[in-house]
Amino acid sequence: MKYKQNRKIFAYLAMIVLSIFFIFPLFYMISVSLNPDETAILRNMASVRAFFPGDLSLKNFFDVFDRMPFARFLFNSTFIVSTTIIIGLLVNSMMAFALARLRWKGRALIVSGVVALMIIPFEAIAVPLLLITNRLGWLDSYHVQIIPFIANPLYIFLLFQFFKNFPSELEEAAIIDGANWFGIYWRIALPLSKPILSSVAILHFLMQWGSFLWPLMVTRGPEYRPLTVAMEVFFGQYPRNWGDIMAFAAMITIPVLLLFLYLQDTYVNTVARSGIK
């Protein structure tokens, strides 16, 4: 019993020390962002005092809105990400549905094609894609950041695996009701697939929200620039105002953090699912 008790104490100690390691940078970001006094930020940046700014204020946050079209960047990111996810869910699940539920020649071949495409990292197609989109005159636009990222072989495959496990009574019952394939997809398959649809949406969100290399290549001005590239551009401007930089960082991070704290169980399942081969 004594041994078990010791082990528990040790586990707690380890967990607490590790929590500090994982959380202090974010606390640091938040406390610096709330500190209106830039000289105090620089004076205290190396000590524990950095975590306890004297007077708290949202001045840095207002500064960010004053110094750049932050609202525009926020809109750009939100618009690009949500459009990609919504159209992506529809398009990817439609293809997955046809591959999993309809019986036709050649579908096994296409499934292996989709699996093969999963190996190609985005970095391996970025350069020719830049050439293609440049030729199409798409640079500096929303659609250049949306259209190439809608269809995704990993998401098609995850949805395919899920649809495949439905019992065949599913269609049989629907046929009695006189439904066609589209009706089965829309009124039966999709409503039964909420767990996998939310997983795919989460993966898609993380990919698009954090996307950096591509928007860096295809956006020139602030008009269509997403938050990530705007953050990097702001970070590259000297002299650096760390209070404002951290306020900017906090505004990108905190909404997403709250969303994921709310969705934590779905997120945990999503990651677990992406790890199961």
Q: By CB under 8 A, what part of segment 37-56 binds another protein?
A: 42, 45-47, 50
Which residues from 151-210 bind another protein, rule CB under 8 A?
151, 153, 156, 171, 174-175, 180-182, 184-185, 206, 209-210
Query: Does residue 67 interact with another protein by CB under 8 A?
Result: no
Best CA proximity match to 190, nearest among 90, 85, 56:
90
Query: Does residue 25 interact with another protein by CB under 8 A?
Result: yes
Angle between helices 2-33 and 242-262 (to 10 degrees): 130
Q: How far is the CB of 141 from another protein (least distance, A)?
A: 15
Peptide bond between residue 25 and the one before it cis (omega within 30 degrees of 0): no
Q: How far is the CB of 182 from another protein (least distance, A)?
A: 7
- Could you say which of 80, 89, 231, 247 contacts another protein (CB under 8 A)? 231
> Alpha-carbon torsion 117, 119, 122, 127, what sign?
negative
Best CA proximity match to 221, nearest among 83, 72, 75:
72
When the beta carbons of 57 and 269 are compared against another protein, the nearer one is 269
Q: Residue 227 CB: number of other CB atoms within 10 A?
A: 23
Q: How far is the CB of 92 from another protein (least distance, A)?
A: 6
State how far the Cα of 251 lies from the Cα of 70, in Å rounded to an integer. 10
- What are the E-state strand segments in the chain? none
- Could you say which of 1, 2, 5, 15 contacts another protein (CB under 8 A)? 15
Query: Does residue 21 interact with another protein by CB under 8 A?
Result: yes
State how far the Cα of 228 lies from the Cα of 217, in Å rounded to an integer. 12
Q: How many residues interact with another protein (rule CB under 8 A)?
A: 96
State how far the Cα of 92 lies from the Cα of 154, in Å rounded to an integer. 9
Which residues from 243-262 bind another protein, rule CB under 8 A?
245-246, 249, 252-253, 256-257, 260-261
Q: How far is the CB of 227 from another protein (least distance, A)?
A: 8
Q: How far is the CB of 142 from another protein (least distance, A)?
A: 15
Which residues from 71-90 bind another protein, rule CB under 8 A?
90
Residue 122, helix vs strand vs coil? helix
Structural contact between residues 63 and 247, judged by C-beta atoms closer than 8 angstroms: yes
Which residues from 88-147 bind another protein, rule CB under 8 A?
90-92, 94-95, 97-99, 102-104, 110, 114, 117, 119-121, 123-132, 134, 147
State how far the Cα of 71 lies from the Cα of 7, in Å rounded to an integer. 50
